Structure 1
Amino acid sequence: MTIILKEVLESEKPILRNLYSLYLHELSNFTMNLNLGEDGAFHYEELDDFWRVDGLSPYFITLNEKTIGFILLLERPFLKKSNDYGINDFFILNQYKGKGLAVQAARKIFEEKPGQYFIIQVVENKRAVAFWKKVYTGLNIETNERQDLIDKELCLIQTFKV
């Protein structure tokens, strides 16, 4: 089972919007900053910016030509400081979790985009924290980690170079 990362085209925005609603629903377990819209879906208000702002780069995670998740990669010129990249959002559909596919996707993005990274997780999201620690260990990545408040949420921030 081989993962492929595919840049999301603007014409595929409705698919990404639907996946973001699922992702935000999952995140709502760990934060009070997310609210259900009146239409019964979670909305990522900045979604249109992905095709208007240089350095916001969404990728579908695909398996056998099927979309199973997405990654939102932040890069230059959007990022201005010491990091070349940031993984802002990372999502795999539940039925594909626990099969090593998310680790494959992380490895693939690091291979395709080497440089200085940062990744942020809400401390309460124990599954995400454990996932990223597993990725770092499995890929022999040494990280610097700190905690900080972001949007009133306690977060872990890891920085590293690949």
Structure 2
Amino acid sequence: MNTKIQKITEADQECFVNMFNYYLYELSAYSLEDIGTNGTFEMDDTSPYYQDERLHPYFIKVNENLVGFILITSPPYVAEGVDYSVQELFILPKYRGMKIAKEAAMRIFRLFPGRYDVGMFKSNAKAVKFWTNLLSSLNIAADVKEGVVEIAGNTLSTMALTFVIQSEVDSHD
């Protein structure tokens, strides 16, 4: 399997917004958000992802098929003392369990070594397991911080992992 990441540009906006709505659909099991009156999830303006060089959006492709995306932010869009944050990582259900998310994360880590923060809903057991297993497989220790966030009137438990990616990261397959 040939996994690649491809920078998302303004020309990709429609495709990205469509795919992001699939992501929000899946995330709604944890965020408890409802769709809007137009039948889609309410989204923030995505144009900063195409216009701000401190935001790093990538499609994930396998054998030229679009299978997901990964969104990385850098200062000032991250907490103090953090270089990068994995804001979102999404793989279409058909392609899960094939180590595509791991390979995409590894490609990002090679491009952007430094201090990372990854946040997730604590109830999202798949995300918690993915990030915990990935870091464990790389022998990378992470600081764990629990918190809460309020979304649509719901108070939800969160979990954040902070860790350091060295400039020479190996996948340890």
TM tier, smaller = over 0.9
Match of 1:70 in 2: 69
Moved more, 124-133 or 150-159: 150-159
SS at 2:77 equivalent: coil
Match of 1:10 in 2: 10
For structure 1, list consecutive stretches of 5 or more residues without a partner in the other structure: none
1:158 is displaced (CA, Å) by 0.4
Deviations 1:2-25 (A, max 9, x none): 211111010101111011100000
Deviations 1:77-129 (A, max 9, x none): 43362100000110000000011111111111111110000000101111111
Instruction: Tell me the distance in 2 between the aligned counterparts of 1:139 and 1:43.
Output: 36
Match of 1:26 in 2: 26
- How much identity, in percent, do the aligned residues show? 30
1:45 is displaced (CA, Å) by 1.6
Instruction: Tell me the distance in 1 between the aligned counterparts of 2:108 and 2:126.
Output: 20
Q: Given the alignment of the two structures, is residue 112 of structure 1 paired with residue 111 of structure 2, yes or no?
A: yes
Instruction: Tell me the distance in 2 between the aligned counterparts of 1:153 and 1:52.
Output: 31
Of 156, 160, 170 in structure 2, the residue corresponding to residue 157 of structure 1 is 160
State the number of aligned residues: 161
1:56 is displaced (CA, Å) by 2.0
For structure 2, list consecutive stretches of 5 or more residues without a partner in the other structure: 166-173
TM-score by length of 2: 0.87
Structure 1 pair 123–63 and aligned structure 2 pair: CA distance change class (3 A): same
Moved more, 75-84 or 60-69: 75-84
| 1:153 partner letter | L
SS at 1:11 equivalent: helix
Contact 1:55 1:79 in 2 (8 A): no
Instruction: Tell me the distance in 2 between the aligned counterparts of 1:88 and 1:153.
Output: 17
| 1:112 partner letter | L
Structure 1 pair 120–16 and aligned structure 2 pair: CA distance change class (3 A): same
1:64 is displaced (CA, Å) by 1.2
* Structure 1 vs Structure 2 CA RMSD: 1.4
| 2:42 partner letter | H
Instruction: Tell me the distance in 2 between the aligned counterparts of 1:74 and 1:42.
Output: 22
Instruction: Tell me the distance in 2 between the aligned counterparts of 1:37 and 1:56.
Output: 26
Contact 2:8 2:50 in 1 (8 A): no
Instruction: Tell me the distance in 2 between the aligned counterparts of 1:78 and 1:119.
Output: 13
Contact 2:71 2:89 in 1 (8 A): yes
Contact 1:54 1:76 in 2 (8 A): no
